[in-house]
A and B are shown apart, each in its own frame.
Chain A
Amino acid sequence: MNVVKTRVAVSAMVFCLMSAPTLAEDLRVTVWTGNDAHLKMLNGIAESFKENHPDVIVKFETVPVSDYTQKLTFQVAGGNPPDIAWMMEDAAPAFENAGLLMDIGPTVKAAQGYDFDDFSQPAMALWQKGETVYGIPFSTSPFMIYYNKDMFDKAGLEDPLALAAKGEWTLDKFQETAKKLAEANPGKWGFEFKDGEGYASRMTHALLPSIRAYGGDIWTNGQCGFDKPEAIAAVKQLHDMVFKDKSIVPPGEQGDYFSGNSAMTDNQISRASKMPEAGFNWGIAPLPTGPGGESPVIGQAGLVVFEQGKHKELAAQFVAHMTDKENVATMAQFFPPARKSVLDSEAFINGNKLVPAEQMKNVSSAITKGRVHPAHEKAPQILAAMAPRVDALWKPDANVEDALKGVCAAIQPLL
């Protein structure tokens, strides 16, 4: 009897502690932000959805961003998909290809006052296949150069924003500036790849802006682009900056821009929220131009509805609500919009509490011109196949051309 009692007690205890399963009328939305301000805004949008759907409770569930796609995979494969999820651009094709995403086109287009054509066409490219719409971008965020104004002043250099205004913000100028900054600030660096990544993770994000500025791409239409002359020239320059000039934070080092250890970094507009606590003067400027002209690169995230979800029609309606004109304008304070009407609006340009209007104009223009990171349904395999070759690239004595040819040899069969 005692055993039975113990076991009942144990299972009862265990049961009480486990969170209760979601109720039938709940809509589960998986997101990767845990930021209070973001969640407050999202809950506000959910609240306004109640005006027309009084019984629906929308719950936002935070999944850590660093392992987000993997965790979403576990949820979907585990038979426990959310109704709606934020989805990163690189993950979308795999999920779409597996037939997991609902065509929400008919629902959103039918929503009152939605104006589907207001979305900028390049921004929709990733989320449409013919007439099928399997996602709506809620964040279309261009990569910008963040710079530490204090370090520029200390080195007596003109800042990127001023150079860009004069049309002199080129990759060569970028290299020269970064080198001078590193020399003027011993123990610190001129430039850090986004969030200190770029070598073991986000390998392509580190290379893409330069490659595009040279007029190339990492791959297009199933053709690897790393071994093309434009890409080789672009990567050679970055390689020189890391190992010859020692102006870019090298692999395995921490040169955190936000702690003042690097003078520049490339990142998205949402990171501006980290700046007030950084304790130095700063600004944002466009990415440097190259022989191929401008190369705005955007990172996207979309809202998708899962086919397996219990309330997919309702979920699609919520996506329509969340991405209508009013709510896109609301979200624009954190997530750059893909709606032209919002992008052009004074409210967007002037509305950012942290970034002055003059700099926001560059953001707006980068969104309109921007191109997303090339996507592929086998993105995880491609990145894994690429990883060892990219590791070989980031060594002081590496032959850049050979290393990039190796990259192409490794990924071409997968493309």
Chain B
Amino acid sequence: MTQRQINVIYRSCWTIALLIAAIPFIFPFVWMVSAGFKSTTEIFGTPTLIPREWRFQNFVDVFTYQPFARQYFNSLYIAVAVTALTLVISSLAGYALARMRFAGAGLLMLFFVSALMVPEEVTIIPNFFLIRSMGLVDTHWPLILLPTFGPHGVMATFLMRQYFLALPKELEEAGKMDGLSRFGVWWRIALPMSRPALAAVAIITFLFSWNLFLEPLIFLSSLEMFTLPLALSNFNDSYGLPLWNLQLAATSLAVVPILIVYLIAQRQIIESFALSGVKG
């Protein structure tokens, strides 16, 4: 056998192994959508990938058993609000940490780094009482404030700082010469140059908020206020009977649009996560 033949065989083996490894990553999605079209009886019957009887009605019923459209909208606007807020404040703070010299910077960085290590579960109890004292229980405020100002916000700040540090200073210096204020430099020069970092922060923040579970679980109690993950985990009729097929239909409705966006922009999204991971 020539070296070339060995390489071909070697490659094919890898590809086959990868294809097999890919099954548990793809199959849950396929099964979820397929089961979303089935009746409860069929879900627990002999498994078939193609439903024997297509129940499109499931996807209509999802909206009548819970205010699902409202819940969908809640998730969407909260994620947008968290993303917008995070972009603004993390790029401001990240810029200051990258470009300005000030007393307390070292200590601040230390605080921020340690925040990254602290799980949300540690601070959730005092935060519950804090939000309570603000009278914001069963509103969407805690779902916007806590992720924005918690460890995730700090992570976004670091990501922005890292990016600003790598930018050439010359343009900003020139901007100052032209009489721009610090704020002007940040807004007109630094931000436009850091679109990739802003996009990365936007993507991971949006998904972070979209998938948030512990905070909604603790702060929300009215059905109309629920976000998607909470609604999905609670898919029962008014007697508490689980609606298996509707739960899967609703899960499909929640997951598939995100997956489609992901498939379209997979390169960008994957790179964003890569950036967020190497921030340390």
Residues of A within 8 A of B (CB): 2-3, 6-7, 10, 13-14, 17-19, 32-35, 38, 61-67, 71-72, 74-75, 77-80, 195-196, 254, 256, 258-261, 270-271, 274
Contacts of B241 in A (CB 8 A): 195, 258, 274
Taking A74-B137, A75-B137, A260-B41 as contacts, is the C-beta distance between A13 and B81 under 8 angstroms? yes
Which one of A3, A13, A65 contacts B236 once the chains associate, using CB atoms below 8 Å?
A65
A248 → chain B closest CB, angstroms: 16
Contact flags (1/0) for B23-64 with A, using CB distance below 8 Å? 000000000000000011101100000000000000000000
Contacts of A19 in B (CB 8 A): 139, 222, 224-225
- How far is it, in angstroms, between the C-alpha of A216 and the C-alpha of B66 when the chains are bound? 41
- How far is it, in angstroms, between the C-alpha of A319 and the C-alpha of B218 when the chains are bound? 29
Contacts of B41 in A (CB 8 A): 256, 259-261
Assess whether B244 is in contact with A254, with CB atoms less than 8 Å apart. Answer: yes
Contacts of A195 in B (CB 8 A): 239-242
A251 → chain B closest CB, angstroms: 14
Q: Pick from B105-113, B127-135, B161-169, B250-258 the stretch touching chain A.
A: B127-135
Taking A2-B187, A71-B221 as contacts, is the C-beta distance between A66 and B84 under 8 angstroms? no
Which one of B65, B131, B218 contacts A34 once the chains associate, using CB atoms below 8 Å?
B65
Does B223 sit within 8 A of A, measured CB to CB? yes
Which one of A32, A63, A64, A79 contacts B135 once the chains associate, using CB atoms below 8 Å?
A79
List CB contacts (< 8 Å) of B165-198 with chain A.
187
- How far is it, in angstroms, between the C-alpha of A67 and the C-alpha of B240 when the chains are bound? 9
Taking A35-B238, A258-B241, A274-B241 as contacts, is the C-beta distance between A63 and B140 under 8 angstroms? no
Assess whether A74 is in contact with B224, with CB atoms less than 8 Å apart. Answer: no
Contacts of A79 in B (CB 8 A): 132-133, 135, 137
Assess whether B222 is in contact with A63, with CB atoms less than 8 Å apart. Answer: yes
Does B138 sit within 8 A of A, measured CB to CB? yes
A92 → chain B closest CB, angstroms: 18
Taking A19-B225, A72-B221 as contacts, is the C-beta distance between A78 and B238 under 8 angstroms? no
Interface size class of B (residues with CB under 8 A): 35 or more
Does B77 sit within 8 A of A, measured CB to CB? yes
- How far is it, in angstroms, between the C-alpha of A261 and the C-alpha of B240 when the chains are bound? 19
Q: Is the interface of A mostly helix, strand, loop or mixed?
A: helix
- How far is it, in angstroms, between the C-alpha of A80 and the C-alpha of B138 when the chains are bound? 8
Assess whether A77 is in contact with B132, with CB atoms less than 8 Å apart. Answer: yes
B149 → chain A closest CB, angstroms: 14
Assess whether B221 is in contact with A6, with CB atoms less than 8 Å apart. Answer: no
Residues of B within 8 A of A (CB): 39-41, 43-44, 65-66, 77, 81, 84-85, 88, 92, 128, 131-133, 135, 137-141, 144, 187, 218-219, 221-225, 234, 236-242, 244
Q: Is the interface of B mostly helix, strand, loop or mixed?
A: helix
- How far is it, in angstroms, between the C-alpha of A196 and the C-alpha of B132 when the chains are bound? 37
The chain B residue sitting closest to A255, CB to CB, is: B44
Contacts of A64 in B (CB 8 A): 66, 223, 234, 236, 240
14 contacts between A and B (CB under 8 A): A3-B88, A17-B140, A32-B240, A62-B222, A66-B234, A66-B242, A78-B132, A78-B137, A79-B133, A195-B239, A195-B240, A254-B244, A256-B40, A256-B44
Assess whether A270 is in contact with B239, with CB atoms less than 8 Å apart. Answer: yes
- How far is it, in angstroms, between the C-alpha of A78 and the C-alpha of B133 when the chains are bound? 8
Interface centre among A78, A271, A274, by most chain B C-beta atoms within 10 angstroms, is A78
- How far is it, in angstroms, between the C-alpha of A298 and the C-alpha of B195 when the chains are bound? 64
The chain A residue sitting closest to B66, CB to CB, is: A34
Which one of A7, A32, A34, A254 contacts B44 once the chains associate, using CB atoms below 8 Å?
A254
Assess whether A18 is in contact with B140, with CB atoms less than 8 Å apart. Answer: yes
- How far is it, in angstroms, between the C-alpha of A14 and the C-alpha of B144 when the chains are bound? 9
- How far is it, in angstroms, between the C-alpha of A176 and the C-alpha of B240 when the chains are bound? 30
Assess whether A33 is in contact with B137, with CB atoms less than 8 Å apart. Answer: no
Which one of A18, A34, A261 contacts B139 once the chains associate, using CB atoms below 8 Å?
A18
Contacts of A3 in B (CB 8 A): 88, 92, 187
Contacts of A258 in B (CB 8 A): 241
- How far is it, in angstroms, between the C-alpha of A254 and the C-alpha of B243 when the chains are bound? 12
Contacts of A71 in B (CB 8 A): 221
The chain B residue sitting closest to A15, CB to CB, is: B141
Assess whether B66 is in contact with A66, with CB atoms less than 8 Å apart. Answer: no
B214 → chain A closest CB, angstroms: 12
Contacts of B219 in A (CB 8 A): 74, 78
- How far is it, in angstroms, between the C-alpha of A254 and the C-alpha of B44 when the chains are bound? 7
Assess whether B238 is in contact with A32, with CB atoms less than 8 Å apart. Answer: yes
Contacts of A74 in B (CB 8 A): 137-138, 218-219, 221
Interface centre among A7, A196, A256, by most chain B C-beta atoms within 10 angstroms, is A256
Assess whether B223 is in contact with A10, with CB atoms less than 8 Å apart. Answer: no
Assess whether B65 is in contact with A259, with CB atoms less than 8 Å apart. Answer: no
